[in-house]
Structure 1
Amino acid sequence: PALCAVLVVCGRSLWRHGRVRRGAHRALAGLRETGVVVLPDGAPYAYALPGGRRDRVVVTTAMLDCLEPAERRALFAHERAHLAARHHRFLLAVQLAARANPFLRPLRTAVAYTAERWADEDAAQAVGSRRTVARAIGKAALVSRGTPVATLAGLAAAGPVPRRVAALLGPVPAVRSWPSLFTSVGAATWGAAVGAAVSAMSSANSAVTMVLILHAATPL
């Protein structure tokens, strides 16, 4: 029963996520099939809309008017980084994990922030200026009130903006990679990762079972 409850909750989240994406694409129906869509809207916002071969960056004229040409390039580079790295999949995965196990909810904020920082660094590398990306983020955050598609990533989206700006104005972060599986360190690291995943799934099942038991034992 506990596993069925988890599957139902996760299935509902997947359905809602798909509905939001389909609705966003339908809203752009009739427009040219280009990688960048500029909407004549007085509300300043921008976001990355994944769609497989129909990946698109959506931005309004109001947002573009707030940015200098170099900052616009930073904005587009940031959104394209989200699409290229398929960040929406990471965000969806952690959302489903949090649905399955409430103890994993803090991971949503951490993963969302990490995705934004990832896109920030990719954008800085693309435009050749970390300071330009920092300015673009700061300006976008000051004027943006969020996107009409809250589940999609954007320049002024999740993550403390001052912290992101400070990171861009600081030293370039060191490049790290996962160690090879065929080394002792790599085997230990990957083993720990797999063990953590299995433990998370087990704890999710236990948590849901406990909730159902408490619910059944508690008088109305």
Structure 2
Amino acid sequence: MNWFTFLPLIIMLALSVALARIPSRLHPSWSARLLATTGAMTAVAALGTGVFVAINYAATLVPSAAAHVPEWALFGDDRPVPDAVGVPAAALAAAGLVTACRAAARWGAELRAARADVREPLDTDVPIAVAVPGRNGGVIVSRGLLHELTPEELQVVFEHEASHLRHRHHRYLAGGALAAAVLPPLRSLDGRLRLAVERWADEDAAEATGDRAFVARTLARVALAQPRAAGPVSAFAESGVVERVEALLATPPAKNAVTGPLLFMGNGVFTGSLTAATLQLDHVIASSLLALLATG
């Protein structure tokens, strides 16, 4: 084992932190894609690195068991994994896997409970609108929302929620929430992702209604709704209301028809390669060095 084992995770963490802190000038749809992809890949890289090191540490403790482990799961050298590295890696990998499983179970329970409420308006005076994905999903609204808003304002809300359902935003949110659960330093990335997803739906609603200022006023009016816990469903006035209103009152963002797809594809190839390398980097580095020596 050498420090190259942790290089993909270090690079992924650095990229995730950078994306969370640097304001993006892309359209919210492309910002959301970049953040979700990077966050999810970083979480997978963290879990993969931890499991990889833990397997090799177990092989160090019980060398006879290494014969039953696939070759791709072992380091490219026979050096033992020290206790100072193996024990924390095994503990963190186990904790990460448990956290991910608990988060998935919690999201599933939340979705099932939300789908049960889709059939009729929520009996509350608080104006609430929530997009619930899935075959039996739809849009949950409260009686307070139906009573307080005009038909035109309700159209804004439903256009916003329809955008969440049409683009399957719950998958983006699940990726960000997974990253934040497994790696707490990525909570800022999760927050920026949630804002980007809401901004994406705001822009779709503004485009559908043709009145950005009216969408901004409707959003501000519904902002008194109680925020929901972070999960795979989105409420209309869930987060970043002030920033969203300011964005709607400003010039519409560019569509990024060329730069958006190119950046997204490049980011996907880069992060995907790094994530795959969490199990094979030792072998790749060794092979590359041998090839360079042979050609030199």
**TM class, shorter-length:** 0.7 to 0.9
Aligned equivalents of 2:112, 2:206: Cα separation in 1: 31
TM-score (norm 2): 0.57
1:25 corresponding residue in structure 2? 115
Q: Does 1:50 align with 2:133?
A: yes
* % identical equivalent positions: 36
1:1-220 alignment, distance < 5 Å? 1=90, 2-28=92-118, 31=119, 37-51=120-134, 53-141=135-223, 143-147=224-228, 151=231, 152-159=233-240, 161-177=241-257, 186=262, 190-196=265-271
Q: Which runs of 5+ in 1 are unaligned?
A: 32-36, 204-220
TM-score (norm 1): 0.74
1:211 corresponding residue in structure 2? none
Aligned equivalents of 1:130, 1:140: Cα separation in 2: 16
Question: Shift of residue 180 of structure 1?
Answer: 9.5
Q: Which runs of 5+ in 2 are unaligned?
A: 1-89, 279-296
1:125-172 residue CA offsets vs partner (Å, 9 max, x unmatched): 11121112111101001x31235x76321111122x121111111111
Runs of 4+ in 1 over 6 A off after TM superposition: 200-203
1:37-95 residue CA offsets vs partner (Å, 9 max, x unmatched): 433432221111112x2231111121122222211100010011111111111011111
Higher relative contact order (CA closer than 8 Å, sequence separation 6+) = 2
2:156–2:215: 8 Å Cα contact kept in structure 1?
A: yes
**What secondary structure, in the 3-state scheme, does the structure 2 residue paired with 1:38 have?**
coil
Aligned equivalents of 2:139, 2:212: Cα separation in 1: 21
1:216 corresponding residue in structure 2? none
In our comparison, the structure showing a higher alpha carbon Rg is 2
Question: Shift of residue 99 of structure 1?
Answer: 2.0
Aligned equivalents of 1:145, 1:50: Cα separation in 2: 20
State the AA in 1 paired with 2:243.
R
1:101–1:200: 8 Å Cα contact kept in structure 2?
A: no
Q: CA RMSD in A?
A: 2.6
Question: Shift of residue 100 of structure 1?
Answer: 2.2
CA distance 1:199–1:100, change in 2 (3 Å): farther
**What secondary structure, in the 3-state scheme, does the structure 2 residue paired with 1:58 have?**
strand
